[in-house]
Amino acid sequence: MKWRPGHLAAAAALWLAACAAAPPGTQPVHTFPEIEARQTFSVGYRQISDRYLEKLSVRSLAIEGIKGLNAIDPEFSIAERGEDIVIRSGSRDVRQWPAPGAGDADAWSRLTVDAIAAARRHSPGLGAAATELLYESVFEGSISLLDSFSRYSGAEKAKRNRERRSGFGGIGIRFSAKPEGAHITEVFDGAPAARAMLLQGDIITHVDGQSLADIPRQRIAKLIKGAVGSTVELRFMRAKGAEPIEISIRRARIIAPTVYLKQEGGVLFARIKGFNKRTSKQLSGLLAPVLKHRRDSIRGIVLDLRSNPGGLLSQAVKVADLFLGDGRIVSTKGRHPASLHAYNAHATEVARDLPMVVLINGRSASASEIVAAALQDHERALVIGSASFGKGTVQTVIALPNKGELILTWSRFITPSGYVLNGLGVPPYICTSVLSGTVPEMVDATVSNAPNLTRMLERWRGSAKGGLAEKKRLKSICPASDQRADFDGRIAEYLIANRDAYQRVLSLSPTIASAEKP
């Protein structure tokens, strides 16, 4: 059984602290919500077995889950003895049950809870373990059978995950924690903080009368956040040593901005840091007035997706749709019928006559790779940088009765040209992780290498036939880089300013076999 980084590091210390020898039958320190736990494990086992990318029996998930308790008490173990399940403490049997049917989620969840209850009466470490640690131990055990992108989040972390995806009650700032308080690093446009005239560089020293001096950042964030419509009292300074200012701000629903637009010369640079519920709307909202009122001064668009870890699939589709007139954007394919989808463009293309460049690197993943691959496959944009990360799987979020959540991999992305992104990523036309020299020299070297580049792209698109070894070989041609080098942008500006060079590089791409592949 494999364990993940960050898994239960405190569990061993907790067990050692609680493990002064105690006789069997010692009462647990904390109560355990058995009814909630049965419901939670039942939902978790059933959803993993039904929806995960590969078929796994409820039996195997439950057995690995119960084994997970060993992370809290190394003396604890589980054994399959004939048709029975036995839990043990050291060399001694603690309890034995007949094994339920392999697919009976309700029965296996009851057995899991019964095993926890029995083990807690015989183990000081398990008896002293908090409820969330027990949930985490079991689900981490089950998820050890899954891929690295599937995970369990307890109630508190699940709440933060939902806030990142869908927003939270707050005032609309980013800040860093300093000894004197919260140092504002960004104020979101249109948010309550902006309307209250808070500025980047201001230092919030008190929230609702409580000093923020030497308080951790996460604690400060909890104090500033609150119910939408509620009021928070702030004291802040415009500069160190300045007179404090006190204001009241009404909290609103905050969805953090992910798009930042700037114009340099005649080029629009749109950096997308992630994909949340407002990304496509924010991007179109920023582009629309510029393209309407300054259209004649714009020569091209650069979409900077470097170090973008991804986010919501639906938003990746909408962002790609902004720049495509028709054709397939991405397909998803998994084991569960609900995971089968084909997403197409809807003829809403903006700036269709402007050249476009997409910047990627080795930390561009998931949703950002969908956008880059779709624009590249339809020859709408040149892709520049290094091979992207290759995170080509879709996760679905399962809410659990204990207010935690499971994030399960349940399908794979398929690009318009038919290759699977997972483990491979998107290939750039101009590979800045291997080229050197001036910008014109790098462009000329790419064009001079046209036959090899075209063959590489053809093999990339046919990589499914070559397996893992072929994917590794292809990625080594343009090694992934984590850098956001300035010359990526300079190459983009050069190509946009030189339409002949832009078209020469664009013509190196082999035509996709079909934009309608399933």
* Predicted pLDDT at 474: 87
Q: Taking the model in full, what pTM does it have? A: 0.83
* Predicted pLDDT at 465: 65
* Predicted pLDDT at 25: 52
Intra-chain end-to-end CA distance of the chain, in Å:
36
* Helical (H) or strand (E) element with 347: none
Q: Which positions are catalytic?
A: 366, 377, 391
Q: How far is the C-alpha of 311 from the C-alpha of 317, rounded, in Å?
A: 11
* Predicted pLDDT at 26: 58
Low-confidence stretches of the chain (pLDDT < 50) are: 1-23, 513-518
* Predicted pLDDT at 27: 63
Domain topology for 168-254: Pdz3 Domain (2.30.42)
Alpha-carbon torsion 26, 29, 30, 31, what sign?
positive
Q: How do 430-431 and 382-385 pair as beta strands?
A: parallel
Q: Are 213 and 223 in contact (CB under 8 A)?
A: no
The position carrying tokens 């369990």 is: 152
Provide CB contacts within 8 A for 228, sequence distance 6+: 169, 251, 252, 253
Question: Tens of pLDDT along 43-71?
Answer: 999 999 999 999 999 999 999 999 999 99
- Both structure tokens of 121: 């009466």
Q: In what order do the strands lie in the sheet with 356-360?
A: 259-264, 267-272, 300-304, 356-360, 382-385, 430-431
Q: Is 216 exposed, middle or buried, given 0-12, 13-18 or 19+ CB atoms closer than 10 A?
A: exposed
Q: How far is the C-alpha of 141 from the C-alpha of 76, rounded, in Å?
A: 14
- Both structure tokens of 180: 């004197």
* Amino acid in position 390: G
Q: How far is the C-alpha of 418 from the C-alpha of 234, rounded, in Å?
A: 54
* Predicted pLDDT at 77: 94
* Predicted pLDDT at 437: 87
Distances (CA, A) of 114 to 10, 34, 140, 225: 24, 8, 18, 39
Domain boundaries, the chain: 9-146, 168-254, 259-331+341-390+417-506
Q: Alpha helices, DSSP H only, in 344-449? A: 367-377, 439-448
* Predicted pLDDT at 516: 37
Q: How far is the C-alpha of 68 from the C-alpha of 3, rounded, in Å?
A: 9
Please tell me what DSSP assigns to residue 512. Answer: P
Task: Domain 259-331+341-390+417-506: state its class.
Answer: alpha beta
* Predicted pLDDT at 514: 31
* Predicted pLDDT at 484: 80
Please write down the HEC assignment for all residues of 232-301: EEEEEECCCCCCCEEEEEECEEECCCCEEEEEECCEEEEEECCECCCHHHHHHHHHHHHHHHCHHHCCEE
Q: How far is the C-alpha of 248 from the C-alpha of 371, rounded, in Å?
A: 41
